[in-house]
Amino acid sequence: MSATLRLTVRERAGARCEYCRLPDLVPHLMRFHLEHIRARRHQGSNSLNNLAWACARCNERKGTNLSGVDPDTNRVVRIFNPRRDAWGRHFAMDGLRIRGATATGRATAWLLEFNSEERLKLRQGLRKLGLF
């Protein structure tokens, strides 16, 4: 995909991962990807409407998944779609933790491992620098 398309998606996202909200400030330390919300394997397109800016960790954990399991109800639900869903409706910050406020939010937070020890340490370091 073109550099122009990458830049457009990055700017639309405010230079943050559209899933976990990590800032894209240090490209040589943290890789970010153009992520297909609906994977090409599932007939997803390369259109702006199907692309999100994602940190490598979220992109790798999401893979081709369109759904996940809500850990509270054990039900399969769709995961967060940055083009359709408002982040603040599905997630809330609780200190350094990202809490799912809906079944979609909980399933996404669990699937993408938003609150792994590694991610909490990263957010803590970024917060100390005033970047998160």
| pLDDT, tens only, 73-96 | 999 999 999 999 999 999 999 999
Mean pLDDT of 47-72: 96
Q: In this predicted structure, what is the pLDDT of residue 6?
A: 92
Q: What residues contact residue 83 under an 8 Å CB cut-off, 6+ apart?
A: 37, 49, 50, 52
pLDDT at residue number 38:
94
Q: What is the pLDDT of residue 25?
A: 83
Does residue 44 carry a pLDDT above 90? no
Q: pTM, whole model, 2 decimals?
A: 0.93
Task: Say how far apart CA 107 and CA 21 lie, in whole Å.
Answer: 16
Q: pLDDT band at 14, cuts 50/70/90?
A: very high
Return the pLDDT at 27: 62
Chain segment 112-127, per-residue pLDDT in tens: 999 999 999 999 999 9
Distances (CA, A) of 102 to 4, 36, 79, 105: 34, 23, 10, 5
Give me the chain's average pLDDT, please: 94
Q: Please give, one letter per residue, the 3-state secondary structure of 28-46.
A: CCCCEEEEECCCHHHCCCC
